[in-house]
Amino acid sequence: MKWGLIIEISQALMTARLKQTLVAAIGVTFSITMFVTLLGFMNGLNEMLDGLVLNRTPHIRFYNEIKPNPDQPVDISDEFSNSLNFIRSIRPSTSRLSIYNSESIMHALEEDPRVTGISPKIAAQVFFNVGTIDITGVVNGIDVDKEAELFAFQDYVTTGDYEDLKQTNSIILGKGAADRMLADIGDVIQATTANGNKIQLKVVGYYQSGLGDYDNANSFASISTVQKMLGEPSSYITDIQIKLTDLDLAPSMAKEYREIFGIDADDIQTVNAQFETGTYIRTLISYAVGITLLVVSGFGIYNILNMMIYEKLDTIAILKAIGFNSQDVKRIFISIALVIGVVGGSIGLILGFLACLGIERIPFETEALPTIKTFPVDFNVKYYLIGGIFSVVTTYFAGYFPARKASGVDPVDIIRGK
Amino acid sequence: MSLEKKSVLEAKDIDKYFYNPVKTQVLKKVTFRINRGEFVSVVGKSGCGKSTLLYILSTMDTAFDGKLWMDQELISGKPANYLAKLRNEKIGFVFQFHYLLNEFSVLENIMIPGLKLGKYSRQELEHRAMEKLKIFDMEDHALKKAYQLSGGQKQRVAIARALINDPLLIMGDEPTGNLDKKNSDIVYNKFKELAQEFGQTMLIVTHDTEFASGTDRIIEMEDGKVIRH
């Protein structure tokens, strides 16, 4: 088909009704702008809120839980094997917190292609001795580099350099804990572990996650420092945290490894189910609003094209008389709709991007979120693609029905009618 | 009518009914033929069915009984798209009121059927369109928008447009009906010129007896019947 001619005619019809065409295009522009901005902003916020917890949450955490032994002697005994045994007041056996054979478990995890990173950790309960007062806290022994790589540790160290943590006997205090201890950078604090060891630690930084309770209790030191504090060997590890290539694999992999290694494993979905729900609902609402805007602008195009067809009945009749068939006429009006959609949509995408850039510049500082200085915006290409595709699809349908009407115009009726 | 003369348009037993508000027969067994090079006019009183006949002959109205040949090819019952192509290629139209597309310049108006046909390149068409405009002394107005012309000028351009694809047949529905005496004469003279100088086959519906008397042959209609041809 001769698309050149069809586009030329569409263009002439549009320029003849420039104002209406512009109004229709502006409608699309506005809705696409809003769609992109809304989704970008909403998802930026979503990601930030989720990141608050999820970024720092391992996809799977392996640990030993202190609990009663499920295999009690009476169950093993042949004599009672066929009876129903009730045992009251079972106490946890003297199991240890550290993970057995942690070296080989870590080695096995490293070999797994689904795993992107492993970070070992020791959680140690301590008392910080401040004068005559003891403040309880948890010192997390971490592998500094791994923690930074997998859990963006450095983002949350608001004062001081996280690299300093690699020196033995240094500590990064939670902001809340530091405030209570009145500990400045460079100060030396004293901590007592649960088994009575006293140790002097030098404060090299503050840690602020944005979750107040967490910052009151948690401080960080290197693994070797914590092992030394506890008087344990270098194989002593209480937690192994891993990140996966695909978050959705977590529940099944946790189950798999729980059986293989015989240790406890928590996956991120189970631990943080409520975050996913919140994110899902917020995303759903933003899509609903965005799509409503687009549909409304589609009705605008529909109206304007209908009006244009009514005004241009003569033109349509002449075109048909001189040899344009129904499909040609339909194509002319669909191209008008698509041009409105594509031009309006593209400008909308650009304006939406600019609006997002603008929002990203707006200062947004809160005590709770030390890493956030401006409003977060998500610039995912996905939203631009959805916006673009949707604008074309809506305008196509908005144009399709008027175009079908135009193609059905009987030239004889029009020409005779005068 | 010599035997060598080829038939351009042939109608046989054409019946046409209108159903709104009641079934009325507007055309009754209309049969005639037009040969190449003839300048034919269809005359008759208002409501005798001459316009209806023209729209059937033009292939735009397909709801009729009977048979229609164009260029010795049976065209009644052909699909709409085929007929549209046929109109584009073989028929040129001149209407009473509907002249030009106001959105386009005079030159573009003439070129559009040619562009649709796609036989010539755009440049060639532009050249051809200018040639046609020269026939009607309208070449100075080529770049004006269609709505800037007077009625007579528009009708002359419309005839030029009808000629762009070198049609087998030009059909006119009261082409001078809406024009004053002066413009009507100009348009009439142009038709005459086309018939004499270019041997163009033409079928013009008119109630202007003066116009009709200048044509080669008059088909007279009354109450949906051809009474003289």
Q: How confident is the model at residue A188 (pLDDT cuts 50, 70, 90)?
A: very high
Q: What percent of chain B has pLDDT over 90?
A: 9
Mean pLDDT across the stretch B39-52? 87
Identify the structural domains of chain B with CATH numbers, from first to last. Answer: 37-62+80-228 (3.40.50.300)
Nearest to B108 by CA among A11, A407, A326, A310: A11
pLDDT for the residue A171: 93
- For residue A120, pLDDT over 70 is answered with yes
Instruction: Determine the Cα–Cα distance for residues A411 and A318; give it in Å rounded to an integer.
Output: 7
Rounded to the nearest angstrom, the minimum Cα separation between B2 and chain A is 32
Rounded to the nearest angstrom, the minimum Cα separation between B210 and chain A is 23
pLDDT for the residue A139: 92
Question: Of the given ranges (A34-38, A67-71, A316-320, B30-34), which has the lowest mean pLDDT?
Answer: A67-71
Q: Give this prediction's pTM.
A: 0.71
Mean pLDDT across the stretch A60-72? 82
pLDDT tens digits, residue range A121-136? 998 899 998 888 888 9
Mean pLDDT across the stretch B32-57? 88
Cβ <8 Å between A415 and B95: yes
- For residue A47, pLDDT over 90 is answered with no
Cα of B15 vs its chain's centroid, Å: 21
Mean pLDDT across the stretch A187-213? 88
Q: Which residues have C-beta within 8 Å of that of residue A142, sequence separation ≥ 6?
A: A119, A121, A153, A165, A220, A221, A222, A223
Instruction: Determine the Cα–Cα distance for residues A80 and A86; give it in Å rounded to an integer.
Output: 11
Give the tokens for residue A208: 């602020």
Point out the residue among B93, B104, B117 whose CB comes nearest to the CB of A12: B104
Q: Which residues have C-beta within 8 Å of that of residue A226, sequence separation ≥ 6?
A: A122, A124, A139, A140, A141
Point out the residue among A5, A13, A315 whose CB comes nearest to the CB of B115: A5
Mean pLDDT across the stretch B200-209? 88
- For residue A54, pLDDT over 80 is answered with no
pLDDT for the residue A72: 80
Dmax of chain A from CA atoms? 109
Asked if A36 is an interface residue toward chain B (Cβ–Cβ < 8 A), one would say no
pLDDT for the residue A138: 92
Asked if A325 is an interface residue toward chain B (Cβ–Cβ < 8 A), one would say yes
- 3-class SS at A48? helix
What secondary structure does DSSP assign to A191-235, as a single string? EEETTS-EEEEEEEEEE--S-HHHHHHEEEEEHHHHHHHHT--TT
pLDDT for the residue A219: 93
Give the tokens for residue B43: 């005359």
Q: What is chain A's alpha carbon radius of gyration, rounded to the nearest angstrom?
A: 33
pLDDT for the residue A172: 93
Instruction: Determine the Cα–Cα distance for residues A106 and A164; give it in Å rounded to an integer.
Output: 25
- For residue B198, pLDDT over 90 is answered with no
CB < 8 Å to A311, chain B? none
| DSSP conformation class of B145 | B
CA atoms within 13 A on the CB side of B59: 33
- For residue A141, pLDDT over 60 is answered with yes
Q: What is chain B's alpha carbon radius of gyration, rounded to the nearest angstrom?
A: 17
Cβ <8 Å between A326 and B81: yes
CB < 8 Å to B158, chain A? none
Structure ipTM: 0.87
pLDDT tens digits, residue range A268-303? 888 777 777 877 888 888 889 888 887 888 888 888
Amino acid sitting at position A417: G
Q: How confident is the model at residue A370 (pLDDT cuts 50, 70, 90)?
A: low
Give the tokens for residue B206: 């008119």
Chains A and B: how many Cβ contacts under 8 Å? Answer: 81
pLDDT for the residue A213: 87
Mean pLDDT across the stretch A6-15? 87
Asked if A311 is an interface residue toward chain B (Cβ–Cβ < 8 A), one would say no
Cα of B41 vs its chain's centroid, Å: 11
The answer to whether B116 and A5 are in contact (CB under 8 A) is: yes
Question: Of the given ranges (A286-300, B60-74, B123-137), which has the lowest mean pLDDT?
Answer: A286-300
Mean pLDDT across the stretch A143-159? 86
Domain residue ranges in chain A: 3-54+275-417, 60-83+93-270
Mean pLDDT across the stretch A115-120? 90
- For residue B133, pLDDT over 70 is answered with yes
pLDDT for the residue A194: 85
Q: What percent of chain A has pLDDT over 90?
A: 17
H/E stretch holding A267 reads strand A264-267
Query: Phi then psi for B210, rounded to 5 degrees?
Result: -60, -45
Mean pLDDT across the stretch A45-61? 80
Decide which of A56 and B95 is more confident: B95
- For residue B2, pLDDT over 50 is answered with no
Instruction: Determine the Cα–Cα distance for residues A210 and A193; give it in Å rounded to an integer.
Output: 26
CB < 8 Å to A317, chain B? 98
Q: How confident is the model at residue B3 (pLDDT cuts 50, 70, 90)?
A: very low
Cβ neighbourhood burial of A134 (10 Å; 0-12, 13-18, 19+): middle
Q: How confident is the model at residue B127 (pLDDT cuts 50, 70, 90)?
A: very high
Asked if B62 is an interface residue toward chain A (Cβ–Cβ < 8 A), one would say no
pLDDT tens digits, residue range B161-184? 988 888 989 998 888 887 888 888
Decide which of A368 and A256 is more confident: A256
pLDDT for the residue B1: 43
pLDDT for the residue B98: 63
The residue of chain B with its CA nearest to that of A415 is B98
Nearest to A59 by CA among A215, A245, A237: A245
CA atoms within 13 A on the CB side of A415: 29
